[in-house]
Structure 1
Amino acid sequence: MQQPVYKRVVLKVSGESLSGLNGYGIDATTILSIAEQIKEVVALGVEVAIVCGGGNIWRGIAGSQKGIDRATADYMGMLATVMNSLALQDALEQMDVPSRVQTSIAMQQIAEPYIRRRAIRHLEKGRVVIFAAGTGNPFFSTDTTAALRAAEIEAEVILMAKNKVDGVYSADPFKDATAVKYEQLTYMDVLNKNLGVMDSTASSLCMDNNIPLLVFAITEKGNIKRAILGEKIGTIVKGSID
């Protein structure tokens, strides 16, 4: 049996990755493919927590730019992450993978409230835990949620699954043909070069808590398992370069 290099991980799934080629909404085929990849990892005995973005449905910062109050727009974005989380939970349970959705905003009819000790207990019992509704506060991104929850549950790594890129580049590879892909970076590199891997709050939180970040493409089937097994894919971001 292949041995994973991580025991407990936080998987950050962007909202865009759930929309497939549509660019908006939730694509059933895509979400089932992601659930299948997660099932492979759970079968290896890895404890998996997930944070879903909501950009396929609503972006708070984009809404605020159109005149909606920023806090209100962010709360709307949190609701979008709940929709994505419930869809992912449904896909996982169709594959007989037990899962729980925990929200930072009370929604007792559809999900559990976020309770750290309960989340850890679910993970220890082999259940996938999906953290929804961000941190429960406006002005914080789901990247920051991933960093915060990873620190709280003592995850060994954050796996940042991207929809369009297979790692971190020096510039946008779709706009700049000279863009170079990095294999390793430090969090200080990310902050100083303004690489846009995650927002500065999330980067600082990961750096302060010594949580490595692996950025890779989720569109290539089997990549989550490859990341768990320690294969060289994507870009690793950590406190210092080997």
Structure 2
Amino acid sequence: MKHEIPTEFTIGFLNRTIEIHWGLHAWLMFICWFVLVPFGVMSIRYLKTRPVPLGLPRGVGKFDPLFIWWVMHIWTLYTAIGLSLLGAAIALVVSGGFSGSVHSFFGIATVLFGTLQIVAAWNRGSHGGHNHLSSDPDDPSTWRGDHFDMTPKRRLFEAYHKPGGYFSVFLAIGAVASGLVQFWMPAIAITLGLIFIGGFVLIVFSEFRGYRYDTYRAVFGSHPDHPGNKKREGL
């Protein structure tokens, strides 16, 4: 079934008709999902510092080179999801609602699962740890936290977060592919191909160099007495 793509939108209260620039929508969503999101994923996957027994220094700043990977991860993803919500909302308004096209299904699903990533992050639990400013380094009873102790709440978040993120990217690929079928833009098609090739090469290089470190050990350390390390002893 072929869906008509509107080219104009009338702003009722202004009694004015404006041209719809779908190319801007396409580039906005493309940059969100194939520039910002991959950058956020790669930063937390390959830019973490090498684990040491006691992890990050106590009170390390968010913009410290030792911890900047976390800031890069969270804010690129927040930005991507925020702009995606804006882009989807504008598309729905100027289209007069949900069109029912394959692209619209993929697009809405992508934004929905992307938003769920944010909701999941808000519910990942407390941090804890011997190196947190709220704890006393000499009193282990103050180190408690969902992340440090790897509670079921934190494990549930980690079990969902990575697969959920990859599934969102899979949906985004479907959205851009179906969008290109509706509204062909060779520049996006070529750029997407280059990103896939460049990303593949970068991942292979990073894996070969051994840049992928475990998040728990990078933050809290590789000491065998840490709760999270005890639960994964031998892994």
Greater radius of gyration (CA) = 2
- Per the normalisation by structure 1, the TM-score is 0.25
Which protein, 1 or 2, shows the higher relative CO under an 8 Å CA cutoff with sep ≥ 6?
2
Q: Would you tell me which structure has more strand in proportion to its own residues?
A: 1
